[in-house]
Amino acid sequence: MYRIAGIDNGQTGGLARVRELRKQIETQYEHVLFLHAGDFLHPSFISKQDNGMAMVKTMNALDGALLQFDDRMLVTWGNHEFDKDGNKHVPLMNELLAQSEFTWLGSNISWQSDSIQSDKMRRHVIMNFGDIKVGVFSYTTDMAHPEYIESFADFKSTAEQYVPLLREQGADLIIGLTHQWLQDDLAMMQLPEASRPDIIFGGHEHYVQTEQVNGNWVLKADADAASAIVAEVTFDGNGHHVMPQVIQLDESFNQDSATLSLVRQLSSNIDQNYCKKLNQSGDCLSKVLGYTNSKLMAEETEIRRFETNLGNTLADMVLEKFQTCDVDVVFLNSGSIRLNQNIPAGSGITVKHLEEMFPYPSDLRVIEFERDLLNEVLAHSISSWTANGHWLQIAGFVFIHDPEKQQFSHVHLKHEKEDSSHEQQTIRAVLPYYLISDHTDHDGYIMLNEDMQVDCEHNGAQVKTMFREKLESQTEPLTTQRDFRICNTVRDQCL
């Protein structure tokens, strides 16, 4: 959840629609449990300005009562909760927890002593809904490991510990609230019956997924509340039955007026404070930097799975900039391009578009590696092909992607002929520093490292700065399209 106001200029998602949905459900059902599967504190433009406080304030309003603890709302930690990852951030994190009016679950997290502490945190909970007891535990991926966390237990040992414990405490239904990859959720559901939950509500992939294993549901909704999952659970003499439904929170879905008012107030304050820091007028984020004739594809289920025209524009721009350093190819991990909405054809591209598109530093570095390593890079790019942020937008080479077989083929550099018998043996690539840094998980590109870096006068250039300069210098609107550098065998005519 990166935007309290939603996406598409507020026409899709957003927490005012979530509040309205909850109100509607609570008029129909006496017993309602509200769950959030993580990633809302830090990974956004708005949280860069106030360290996540506006998000907490809006989340607090989802029960319709500010300054009142919501005992029917549970959240777990996502990896982006730990973007503030140093011990120096512990006071900030503790303040965010102190301001929260809901329960945080961290079943598999062992905190460093004297670090994150709050009476809002629990390892697990048992909740009574009439005669029914519901037990909930959580699981958070270890892909981000801040200094104030000692360790993360794996999902198997976490489930093996908490499912029997909750059963012993009388739970009639056990929920796993997770932030991990779908394949790990499915693996958790394949554990022996004594250690698997009855249902999993999860996050991490950013797009809706509904799967069943052993008759049990794994349910995930879209990022930015473009959708929500509502699961009706009924009990009878034969146990429980789950009926899940995906609710699209689009422009046809009403917004709660009180929450919408809060969202607009917080958004306006943050925008104005941003501009004030730059000694600019309060509407500086609305400044148009340039225009586009083409619809720029940045929505996550597109830019994290396919070649897109925006990805091509950015990658080609980088390749042109670094040509003086003899760069062959460009890798841009799509998770670093976080707009999560398309920019319509004929519209202006604003300062806020860029700030939301690039909330993290995106400084670039040149590396050199042996040709064979390119295959390892592409194998990771196409792995877990479910709108993951490690999917690459590229320039300087082409390949065919077969998502059904989870394979790639026909890889060649642009300046090589496809049937060339004289392939270039070393490759120079420009890519975000995050993918090689000694202090990150490389977004899974463990085959790449800082030792590969080579000197280039453009090392350190920022994608956001380059794109802004490109827009401001253009004499004509952007006109860009796919050129099938990544030919998808499901969508395209590849051979």
The b/e string for 75-86 (b: 16+ C-beta within 10 A; e otherwise) is bbbbbbbbbbbe
- Give me the pLDDT at residue 37, please: 98
- Give me the pLDDT at residue 44, please: 85
Rounded CA separation 495/484 (Å): 12
Task: Report the SS3 class of residue 438.
Answer: coil
Over residues 68-119, the pLDDT tens digits come to 999 999 999 999 999 999 999 999 999 999 999 999 999 999 999 999 999 9
- Global pTM reads 0.88
What would be the CATH architecture of the domain defined by 287-488?
Answer: Alpha-Beta Complex (3.90)
DSSP-derived secondary structure for 132-180: EEEEEEEEE-SSS--TTEEEE--HHHHHHHHHHHHHHTT-SEEEEEEES
- Give me the pLDDT at residue 237, please: 86
Of the candidates 128, 69, 122, the one whose C-alpha atom is nearest the C-alpha of residue 100 is 69
Radius of gyration of the chain (CA): 23
H-helix or E-strand spanning residue 242: strand 239-248
CA 355 to chain centre: 16
Beta-carbon contacts of 204 under 8 Å, excluding residues fewer than 6 positions away, are 37, 38, 39, 78, 79, 141, 178, 179, 180, 181, 182, 220
Rounded CA separation 324/460 (Å): 15
Rounded CA separation 86/219 (Å): 32
Rounded CA separation 143/238 (Å): 40
Of the candidates 442, 495, 481, the one whose C-alpha atom is nearest the C-alpha of residue 306 is 481
CA 46 to chain centre: 15
pLDDT along the chain (495 residues), means of 10: 91 97 97 97 88 96 94 97 95 97 98 95 98 97 95 98 98 98 96 97 93 96 96 94 97 97 96 93 94 95 96 98 97 94 95 93 94 97 89 97 95 76 85 95 95 97 97 95 96 91
Provide the 10 A C-beta neighbour count for residue 249: 25
Of the candidates 21, 61, 29, 28, the one whose C-alpha atom is nearest the C-alpha of residue 252 is 21
Helices (H), strands (E): how many in the chain?
A: 12, 23
| Annotated domain spans of the chain | 15-248, 287-488
Residue 32 token pair: 């309602």
CATH topology of domain 15-248: Purple Acid Phosphatase; chain A, domain 2 (3.60.21)
Establish how many alpha carbons lie within 13 A of residue 213's alpha carbon, considering only the half-sphere containing its beta carbon: 19
Q: Which amino acid is at 292?
A: T
H-helix or E-strand spanning residue 56: helix 53-60
Contact 105, 76 (CB under 8 A): yes
Rounded CA separation 249/477 (Å): 32
- Give me the pLDDT at residue 421, please: 59
Widest pairwise Cα distance in the chain = 73
